[in-house]
Structure 1
Amino acid sequence: MDQDLDELVARLRATRGDYDDVEVKSAAGGLPQSLTSTLSALANHPGGGTIILGLDEATGFRPVRLSDPQALKQGLAGKARSFSPPVRLAIRDAEVDGIPVIVARVHECDPSAKPCRVAASGVAYMRGHDGDFPLSALEQQAFLVARQPPLFDRKPVEGAAREDLDEELVAAFLRSVRERDPQGLGRFNEDAELLRRAGVTLPDGTPTVAGVLAMGVHPQEWFPRFVIQASAEPLSSDPAGARARNQTTISGPIPRMLDAAMAWARRVFDTTIVSTPDGTVHDRPTYPYVAFREIIANALLHRDLDHWSEGMATEVRLRRDRLIVSNPGGLYGITVERLGRDAVTSARNARLVAICQHVRTPETGARVVEALATGIPIVNQVLAEAGLRPAHYIDAAIRFTVVIQQAVPPMRPGEDLNQTELRVYDALAAGGRSAAELKHELSLSAPNVRKALRELRSRGLVEQLGGPGRPTTYRRLTD
């Protein structure tokens, strides 16, 4: 196995899941139909991605025998031509643990031709943190809008007036500017002139989008979905049918939303009691509050503000094993690989970021943002100190997602199957089988076959077809 693939498979096994730019399929039963959406999504993904055929994610990325590798490669190449524009692939043979696999590098579609669509249906797909999703018509428009510099935060808010700005926030903003930048923006003595030159208002006094979002009394009067939608996954002890817990919608200007988001996190994040070397005892949250604040602040400041995203909120989802924060709008002027490195800064909403450097949160008096490229390094540092893996950043071009996983990821359903169960599972790759057929093919006893099938069904890896009066067969649920 070549070194690059060796390292990639090792990472997949360590994290027990696909990456946003890597898709793994066993393909033991032929070319999976689900590759149609994957090819479109990876072509639309910044930097493209990689498809590996011949690894079974359900059993810990174990290599499986491919019945006809040449047919798989031809089928994959043929499928790539069924898109508009066609998907560009580089297909090669490789090995994992001494067993042949197929690796296909999916090249990113030229930005001027995005989104890459399925030619037959016209549907385009994007990558998410847990799958491929069809783009809505509005989301497809986002690819066209992204070809121009974003200046939406400088536009006037029709119907808003100076009185629609929060006086407490404005006063703190003016003090900060005059203290921190006395020879620049702070040298303007008249408040109205300073606010105008800072981009908070226009010459006629009308607040800008940036001014309202940063310091408006209630920005949602004009931007109803500039909110944080937060919720936690139900617990096993919750009543049957429960969909979520601690669901809330957080509104207001950015500094007040930050305070409210932190209050929600303190209520909802689980805590453990830990002792330190100096003998003191503390409550430690599952996810560090400092990291959460940095991620939420970035989501609010860098979310897309154009018309296509007006109906979308910043989302926070607390699941049993991970924390997910997502906002409309991908990275601007920077790639995931450069986040937190080389002190690189790039702002989708430059005017909003500049204003928020001087805006303070009412509860703590803390600055909303420094804009010094220190946020991501701080997130990495506090996660490491808490024993957590680095945050996983997913840039899907029109949506940006941050995923923080708990220290010990849960075991995948099929990682600890015994040898008999693995043999039965592999035999079903080529198609449905009855228990009698499996007994004959694998030279196993009937009780052992039935026991293995019961275990595979309980893990959600195999389903039973048929029933009383009809032949009973079993088939795999993966791929």
Structure 2
Amino acid sequence: MTEEELIGKLEMIQRMKSESNILELKSAEKGCPQHLYDSLSSFSNQDEGGIIIFGIDEKQDYKEVGVYDPQDIQKKINEQCLQMEPIVRPLLTVVQKDGKAFVSAEIPGVDLTDRPVFYKGKGRLKGSYTRVGDGDEPMTEYEVYSYEAYRKKYQDDIRGVQRATLSSLNKEKLALYIDLLKSGKPNLSNMDDESIYELMSVTRNNEITLSATMIFSPYPQAYFPQLCITAIAVPGTEIGCIGDSGERFLDNQRIEGSISEMLDEAISFVKRNMKNKTIINPETGVREDRTDYPITAVREAIVNALVHRDYSIHTEGMPIQIIMYEDRMEIKNPGGIYGRIKVDQLGKMQPDTRNPVLALALETLRITENRYSGIPTIRREMEKFHLREPEFADERGSFTVTFYKAGNISKAEPEPEEANNLLVFCRTPRTRKEICEYLGLSSVTYAIQTHVMPLVASGKIKMTNPEKPKSPKQLFYSE
């Protein structure tokens, strides 16, 4: 950062009077802050990195107090950076303004394979942090594990299931799979079945693998009770809404069985809780029946959840969720996006595969294509139904796909009093979650689309990162 750029940052801070997901402010009027480790870790663990500016006192309404000694503070900052693993290499800038010195430390985001960056004094589990809004929060054990799993290429889909045996699998399904594997492959055809089992990870070190259990066992939930789907339909736009007869759920089902059976049952659940309506096709003028959501898109989303969910021990107690609201449907699976791909790149580039053996087996059985066509298909089908584009959200260990019904999102601004209260609340930049909690709602997506985006459209609320409106690091603020 140049001196001119740092001066510009200081001026921006006086206008905004807030921190952000990439900006941390420290006073340092009387000495270097003792514990920079949390921010050094959280900024290093995000792609954008972050900037720590010393010489601004939040407690005094963001007063420019300057730093005690620009030379000594740089030394102290570097000393703390050396206590990180891997070592953090900050870019330091010093500037004079109105007779006071200010220092900025630009913290680069490290490569995914080097994460998490953590404070050595606390260790990897307790010393790893992530940036949430304008604060640093300790990483969960799963978040720490997910980086290690990617770096070391753990294959949780082929971990052994000690209680499972070959005799506990569906023999007909397994035989069909082996026949399909052998088809057109002379080398495989000459091998005995037991050798193919080991080669193709049906077994591993003579133990039945998790992927084989989820595909071929008549009841995988005997071993993993929560590797299932919980599906509910609620009478309103939030969980907790009560129907006309006092009911909390219009439908409620725990969906179990093998992956193919859960897929079929989940689609049946969605079908019976969707409405059918007759419309005039705007392109052909022909009357046709149409469901709330295109079944092809729904199927792709459920398949993606089943194939790409995290199957590690950290999430085996978490089911996939299908929640059908009055205005939308959400499909949530444990485990955020795997690898380097980002939400805005979904369907545009080939992603890393979390469960390659499971994906290949389902492709062989013709349950999935495994050609990375799921997201483009979902988008195309929603467009055919003249519905708004689906939303994909990657939030700290979970991934959510949201489908919206036609005409369900109001473009009108909230009531004046409600809007004014929200504008006051957003004078400090707020995360999606903070706004949702302020409004007393349970759905972040619904809160933002219904209450915030109309104000964004009218220019009353702004985004800190307007080029990437769906960024998980997005903050909303009013002036």
TM-score normalised to structure 2 length: 0.60
Q: Is 1:369–2:375 an aligned residue pair?
A: no
2:180 to 176, 182, 185: 176
Quote the offset at 1:315 in angstroms.
1.6
> Structure 1 residues 427, 182: CA separation in 2 closer, same or farther (over 3 Å shift)?
closer
Q: Is 1:341–2:348 an aligned residue pair?
A: yes
1:155 to 131, 140, 159: 159
Residues 194-220 of structure 1: CA deviation (Å, up to 9, x unaligned)? 33322112363x321111112212111
CA contact (8 A) 2:392 2:399 kept: yes
Q: Is 1:197–2:209 an aligned residue pair?
A: no
Quote the offset at 1:388 in angstroms.
2.0
Quote the offset at 1:427 in angstroms.
8.0
Letter in 2 for 1:377: P
Q: Which residue of 2 aligns with 1:251?
A: 256
Letter in 2 for 1:380: R
Residues 409-440 of structure 1: CA deviation (Å, up to 9, x unaligned)? 5337844639xx97898789899xxxxxxxxx
Residues 371-400 of structure 1: CA deviation (Å, up to 9, x unaligned)? 112222211111111112332222336322
Quote the offset at 1:293 in angstroms.
0.9
> Structure 1 residues 426, 379: CA separation in 2 closer, same or farther (over 3 Å shift)?
closer
Residues 322-357 of structure 1: CA deviation (Å, up to 9, x unaligned)? 222222222234413332225x25311111111111
> C-alpha separation between the residues in 2 aligned to 1:376 and 1:427?
38
Most deviating of 248-257 and 317-326: 317-326
Quote the offset at 1:303 in angstroms.
1.2
Letter in 1 for 2:199: R
SS of match in other structure, 1:307: coil
Aligned pairs for 1:308-319 (under 5 A) are 308-319=314-325
Residues 33-92 of structure 1: CA deviation (Å, up to 9, x unaligned)? 9999xx9999598645999xxxxxxxxxxxxxxxx8987xx9xxxxxx9x9989x999xx
Q: Is 1:303–2:309 an aligned residue pair?
A: yes
CA contact (8 A) 2:181 2:364 kept: yes
Quote the offset at 1:174 in angstroms.
2.9
CA contact (8 A) 2:43 2:50 kept: no
> C-alpha separation between the residues in 1 aligned to 2:356 and 2:414?
47
1:263 to 244, 255, 268: 268
CA contact (8 A) 2:201 2:357 kept: yes
SS of match in other structure, 2:360: helix
Letter in 1 for 2:225: P
> C-alpha separation between the residues in 1 aligned to 2:304 and 2:232?
19
CA contact (8 A) 1:45 1:397 kept: no
Q: Which residue of 2 aligns with 1:58?
A: none
> Structure 1 residues 423, 275: CA separation in 2 closer, same or farther (over 3 Å shift)?
closer
> C-alpha separation between the residues in 2 aligned to 1:424 and 1:396?
27
Letter in 2 for 1:150: Y
SS of match in other structure, 1:247: strand
Q: Which residue of 1 aligns with 2:384?
A: 385
Q: Is 1:222–2:223 an aligned residue pair?
A: yes
Structure 1 vs Structure 2 CA RMSD = 5.0
> Structure 1 residues 430, 358: CA separation in 2 closer, same or farther (over 3 Å shift)?
closer
Letter in 2 for 1:208: T
Quote the offset at 1:266 in angstroms.
0.6
> C-alpha separation between the residues in 2 aligned to 1:115 and 1:233?
42
> Structure 1 residues 126, 265: CA separation in 2 closer, same or farther (over 3 Å shift)?
farther
Quote the offset at 1:302 in angstroms.
1.2
Residues 129-187 of structure 1: CA deviation (Å, up to 9, x unaligned)? xxx998654555444444321212222210211012123322332343244x43464x2
Aligned pairs for 1:72-471 (under 5 A) are 111=112, 112=114, 114=116, 136-179=140-183, 181-183=184-186, 185=188, 187-188=189-190, 190-202=192-204, 204=206, 206-235=207-236, 238-239=243-244, 242-276=247-281, 281-336=287-342, 337-342=344-349, 344-359=350-365, 367-396=366-395, 398-411=397-410, 414-415=413-414, 417=416
SS of match in other structure, 2:409: coil
CA contact (8 A) 2:227 2:316 kept: yes
CA contact (8 A) 1:40 1:126 kept: no
Quote the offset at 1:264 in angstroms.
0.7
Residues 278-311 of structure 1: CA deviation (Å, up to 9, x unaligned)? 6764331222111111111111111112221121
CA contact (8 A) 1:143 1:398 kept: no
SS of match in other structure, 1:309: coil
CA contact (8 A) 1:318 1:324 kept: yes
Q: Percent identity?
A: 24
Task: Name the count of aligned residue pairs.
Answer: 361
> C-alpha separation between the residues in 1 aligned to 2:208 and 2:248?
39
CA contact (8 A) 1:29 1:429 kept: no
Letter in 1 for 2:171: E
> Structure 1 residues 338, 410: CA separation in 2 closer, same or farther (over 3 Å shift)?
closer
Quote the offset at 1:191 in angstroms.
3.4
SS of match in other structure, 1:357: helix
> C-alpha separation between the residues in 1 aligned to 2:247 and 2:131?
29
Which of the pair has the greater relative contact order for Cα pairs under 8 Å at 6+ separation? Answer: 1
CA contact (8 A) 1:226 1:312 kept: yes
Residues 223-263 of structure 1: CA deviation (Å, up to 9, x unaligned)? 12111122123237714764433122111111111111111
> C-alpha separation between the residues in 1 aligned to 2:152 and 2:376?
29
> C-alpha separation between the residues in 2 aligned to 1:373 and 1:164?
32
TM-score normalised to structure 1 length: 0.60
SS of match in other structure, 1:259: helix
CA contact (8 A) 1:166 1:215 kept: yes
Residues 97-154 of structure 1: CA deviation (Å, up to 9, x unaligned)? xxxxxxxx9975765453889x9x98956879xxx99865455544444432121222
> Structure 1 residues 332, 89: CA separation in 2 closer, same or farther (over 3 Å shift)?
farther
